[in-house]
A and B are shown apart, each in its own frame.
Chain A
Amino acid sequence: MEQGQKTTVALKPGIQLQLLRYMLTGSSPSAIIDAMQAFELIPSYQFVWEKTLELGIRIKGDHFSQSDIFKRLKTSEQYKMEIGCAEPLQRCEANDCLFQNPDCLKNKLKEQIISLYRMISEYLGIEFKP
């Protein structure tokens, strides 16, 4: 993908199925994430986020709150501080560094996705295998 192209791509259903299988078996998605390009990680993160919400609501019902998820995720501000990034915060929040620094974006989203997988395993009451 080149700069100027659409930054969102549709995730292939085969990949969605793989991500779902890892979720339901408590497996780490690291291998599949490492094999992805940064631009593919954006819809992957979106997909995992949606499934985390879906599973949280199904399992915890009224006791589930979206803020439970936010509390466990690193904020863009925290991530930027950790890596010593001087770019504006909004760029990080909007994943605007896709073309300038795809590796950084990939690291950020990978970390978030793994955190979501840990939460899903907790919801499901299964062991997460990192």
Chain B
Amino acid sequence: MALLTIQKDAQRIGEIVVVGPSISLQKRLITHLCHEVILTNNNTVFGRSRITHELQLFFYGIGEKEQYQDFAWDIVGRKMLGYMIVFNWYDSQAFQETQLLVDQLTQRTNAHGIIVGDVADSFLSIHSGVFEHGFSLSSKLSFVLWNSAEKKNAKNSMRIMLDTVINHFD
């Protein structure tokens, strides 16, 4: 999966798979999280976020749902740091697809994950303080609302997912 060049001194890599009904939202989330993004012509997106010279996060937006069945979850699922499922919070069809997707993913992989609902399409009457820390669905799965119009929100989603990872440290 390592399509991005790995520098010799960058030995630690965390891989995060990004899925969801909307390819454009996958792209937007990865773009907000990474300083380096590659868009391919088969609707997949690769992004790299350098934390330090030694530690990097790679994001893989795997495109349309037809590709999910062919995706090597059994191989990638064991070594990935986590997954992010992104969808439009106001789109009922996308919500139903997300429900199915999260049920499938939690059966296929034991990795940590976060479901990210984008609220940029409409005014949200709930104060952001209510949801900025996300909601835990299990010890390895969280949910958070994200305003894709604001870049800092994406980092918040990432932070919540990493918190669940850290909470599982021995």
Bound form: Cα–Cα A124–B135 in Å: 15
Which residues of B approach A to under 8 Å, CB–CB? 89, 95, 98-100, 102-103, 106, 115, 125-127, 129-131, 133, 135, 137-138, 141, 143, 145
The stretch of A12-20, A79-87, A93-101, A109-117 in contact with B is A12-20
What A residues does B130 contact at CB under 8 A? 55, 58-59, 124
Given A13-B137, A58-B130, output 18 extra A-B contacts at Cβ < 8 Å: A12-B103, A14-B98, A14-B100, A14-B103, A17-B95, A17-B99, A17-B137, A17-B143, A20-B137, A24-B145, A51-B135, A54-B135, A55-B130, A58-B133, A124-B125, A124-B130, A125-B126, A126-B125
A contact patch SS: helix
- Asked if B99 and A18 make an inter-chain contact with CB atoms under 8 angstroms apart, the answer reads yes
Residues of the B chain whose Cβ atoms lie less than 8 Å from the Cβ of A21: 89, 95
Question: B125 to chain A: which residues have CB within 8 Å?
Answer: 124-126
Chain A residue contacts of B133, Cβ below 8 A: 58
- Closest Cβ–Cβ distance, residue B110 to chain A (whole Å): 13
B126, A17: Cβ atoms closer than 8 Å: no
Shortest distance between the CB of B94 and any CB in chain A (Å): 12
Q: Which residues from chain B contact A59 at a C-beta distance below 8 Å?
A: 130
Q: Which residues of B contact A20 (CB under 8 A)?
A: 135, 137, 143
Q: Please tell me if the beta carbons of B126 and A24 are within 8 angstroms of each other in the complex.
A: yes
Greatest chain B CB density within 10 A among A15, A17, A125 is at A17
Chain B residues, CB < 8 A from A15: 99
30 contacts between A and B (CB under 8 A): A12-B103, A12-B106, A13-B102, A13-B103, A13-B106, A13-B115, A13-B138, A13-B141, A14-B99, A14-B102, A14-B103, A17-B98, A17-B99, A17-B102, A17-B137, A17-B143, A18-B99, A20-B135, A20-B143, A21-B89, A24-B145, A51-B135, A55-B130, A58-B133, A59-B130, A124-B125, A124-B126, A125-B126, A125-B127, A126-B126
